[in-house]
Amino acid sequence: MGEVTRKLTDKQTALVDTIVANGCSIKDAAPLAGYAVGESGRVTATKTMKLPHVQQYMMERMNEEFGLSATIAARQLRTLASGAKSEYVQLEASKDLLDRAGYKPIDRSQVQVAGDIRVSIDLG
């Protein structure tokens, strides 16, 4: 985990960890993390989530979660590429795997203009 410049309190850490782990709202996470139940706890938790060092920790935790989930997603793509009933699903999963492995087809967009265009308006 990266270095957080300002130390988080146990409640701040618990708030972020609860939101990331449960995918819940601040309102739902606040009482679970030790903030007061009700409006005052929600308001305090909302203000807490706006603090730069808390946002930094939230980003670090989200990056960890996405990293862990990426292996599950990759396994699912491999399963679909080799075993889906639909050939279309197999094709799309295979293309996605190749794309993520760096084998994306070259995007060929070529516009060619040839010739000379002249407009003559005779008003007489």
Residue 21 in domain: yes
75 against 124, higher pLDDT:
75
| Mean pLDDT value across the chain | 89
93 against 105, higher pLDDT:
93
Residue 56 in domain: no
pLDDT cut 70: percent of the chain above it: 92
Over residues 46-63, the mean pLDDT reads 95
Residue 83 in domain: no
Residue 88 in domain: no
118 against 83, higher pLDDT:
83
Residue 47 has pLDDT above 70, yes or no: yes
The confidence score (pLDDT) of residue 1 equals 52
Range of the domain at 40: 8-50
Over residues 18-22, the mean pLDDT reads 94
Residue 111 in domain: no
What H or E segment, with its residue span, contains residue 52?
helix 52-83
**What is the domain count for the chain?**
1
Residue 14 in domain: yes
8 against 108, higher pLDDT:
8
82 against 115, higher pLDDT:
82
The confidence score (pLDDT) of residue 114 equals 74
Backbone angles phi, psi at 2, to 5 degrees: -70, 170
Residue 26 in domain: yes
Q: What is the DSSP string of 60-118?
A: HHHHHHHHHHHHHHHHHHHHHHHH-SSHHHHHHHHHHHHHHTT-PPP--------S---
Residue 60 in domain: no
Residue 5 has pLDDT above 70, yes or no: no
